[in-house]
Every structure is written in C-alpha cells, then in structure tokens.
Amino acid sequence: MSVEDLPGKEVNVLKGHEGGVLAARFNGDGNYVLSCGKDRTIRLWNPHRGIHIKTYKSHAREVRDVHVTQDNSKLCSCGGDRQIFYWDVATGRVIRKFRGHDGEVNGVKFNEYSSVVVSAGYDQSLRAWDCRSHSTEPIQIIDTFADSVMSVCLTKTEIIGGSVDGTVRTFDIRIGRETSDNLGQPVNCVSMSNDGNCILAGCLDSTLRLLDRSTGELLQEYKGHTNKSYKLDCCLTNTDAHVTGVSEDGFIYFWDLVDASVVSRFKAHTSVVTSVSYHPKENCMVTSSVDGTIRVWKT
C-alpha cells in the first residue's frame, strides 16, 4: 500500500453529539460507525452517507468506549458511571448492566464469540462479564495492575491490557498465565496488528511503541504527535503497512510501519483528536474529537 492510498480527504462530517466525542469505531464490516461522548450518548451512523441512524441513552455520565458484536446485533459501552451496558442495537434497549468496578471504566471489548465483555477500569482491574448468564457478577477479575487500566484488546485466547503503571499485560485464559512488558511510560491505548503478531501501545510520552506479541520485544517507536494528558487512540491500517495515531493539537499522523518515518500528517480537527478507527477493507478512516465532530476520511 503506497502513501497515496492513505486517507486524507474529508468526505463527511458527522455532527450530533453535544460536547466532546471520546471514541468513534467502525463496526466489523465497516458499513457503520458507533460513537460515544461527553453528552452521555452513543450514536449509530452511516459514515459513507453521512447519516445519523440512532441514539442510545442510558448512561448517567460520559461514555468512554463502545464496541459492537460481529453480527451487529448487540453493543457494549462503558464510562464515568462505573457501569458496563449491554445493548440491543435494533431496539436500543439495555439488556443488562454490569456493575462491580470501583471507579470509572475506560474501555470495553467483546470476545470473538460475543459471549463475554471485558472491561478496563480506573480501579486497576480488568473484568470479564458473561453476556449469556443472568449474573451481574464478573466471571473473572484481573487485578495485578498497579494503576488505572486504560485500554483492552482480545485475541481468541488472551486478554491484553494497557495501564498507567507503564505495563502491557497479557493473560492467557486457557492456562492462566500472565506476561508483563514494562514500557516505562503510562500506556493509554493498546491495539493489535491485523496479522495478530504485534501490539501497538500508545504512551503518554508522545510515543507509540510496537511490540512483538510472542516475545515482548520492542520492534519500533513512532514519534511526532503530541500525547501527554489525554487518552488517545492508535491503530494499524488494514494492510498493516502503516501506523496511524492522533494528536492533542488536532493532527492525524501516519508512519511507515518498518522505518517509523512520518509519511503523512494533516490537521483534522480544531481541538484534541481522541480516536481513530480504520476501515477493515477500504482506504477509509473515521476520527473523533473534543471539538464535537466525527470526520470521515478517504483517499
């Protein structure tokens, strides 16, 4: 994939949130986007047509993160009210509320089978919740972190968490083993390469770090953007050829995966860019910002 193929042309601006947007995420097939924010709502969009489809309201505080199942039928969300909500997408009904975190919840992810939600909290824990049982108690609590857990990602057999304590910790659910990679800087985002071989960690020293998932070896560092005080997203493009990250000065950055050179950067928003989500197949991405907008970018 060449640099010319990277999205940099704004095709739609999605407006509707009142206040900052904290996250915007493509669904599994890239046809829809879910966003959440300071106004306590979750919103469903068709980003390609620039249409707002539905609003989900039930949280009592700001909504920090949202994730949708592979079949698009359910979604989960979390935020400042310490709860994880499990929703029916079509009806907008809350099926279940999971309570147990002792602080605000920063991130949520479904497992591959959409049967379990894993949440990352300010209370220094990751918690797993069974969507199919009627119990509101977590089925697993991982509390070996020494500070807030900011971000979580999942594989078929592992839970990976990034924490302000400077670690990326991987828990193998089958054998109950934990491995910890200490990056020495607060971690506020972890995401996986599409081939599953690498973990990209966003740190509060304005550096993204690429780790080998099997060895924990630091493969590369990406710099140029500003990230010192906000929880910001980072991810790899769908071909794993480039790394993309957002910046507190409103810019988006693309780096070459291998040599870490900045191949593209542009001003995307008037304020802090909070999240970036890359389309699973097309050269397209969405960004969200404290400025209240979600922007759709294509080549």
pLDDT, tens digit (0-9, with 9 covering 90-100), for 247-278: 999 999 999 999 999 999 999 999 999 999 99
Note whether 84 and 129 are within 8 A (CB).
yes
Which element (helix H / strand E) includes 45?
Answer: strand 41-46
Give pLDDT, residue 2: 86
CATH topology of domain 9-298: Methylamine Dehydrogenase; Chain H (2.130.10)
First to last CA, the chain: 12
Domain boundaries, the chain: 9-298
Give pLDDT, residue 1: 73
Q: Name the pairing type of β-strands 140-142 and 149-154.
A: unpaired
Alpha carbon distance 8, 56 (integer Å)? 30
Amino acid letter, residue 149: V
Give pLDDT, residue 136: 85
Which letter, b or e, does each residue of 115-125 get, where b requires 16 or more Cβ atoms within 10 Å of its Cβ?
Answer: ebbbbbbbbbb
Predicted structure pTM score? 0.97
Q: Residue 141's beta-bridge partner residues?
A: 127
Question: What is the overall mean pLDDT for the chain?
Answer: 97
Amino acid letter, residue 154: L
207: exposed, middle or buried (Cβ count in 10 Å: 0-12, 13-18, 19+): middle
Residue 195's pLDDT band (cuts 50, 70, 90): very high
For the segment 200-250, what is each residue's pLDDT rounded down to a tens digit?
999 999 999 999 999 999 999 999 999 999 999 999 999 999 999 999 999
| Sheet arrangement for strand 284-289 | 9-15, 293-298, 284-289, 273-278
For the segment 170-179, what is each residue's pLDDT rounded down to a tens digit?
999 999 999 9
Phi, psi angle pair for 29, to nearest 5°: -100, 0
Q: How many residues does the chain have?
A: 299
For the segment 36-72, what is each residue's pLDDT rounded down to a tens digit?
999 999 999 999 999 999 999 999 999 999 999 999 9
Give pLDDT, residue 94: 98
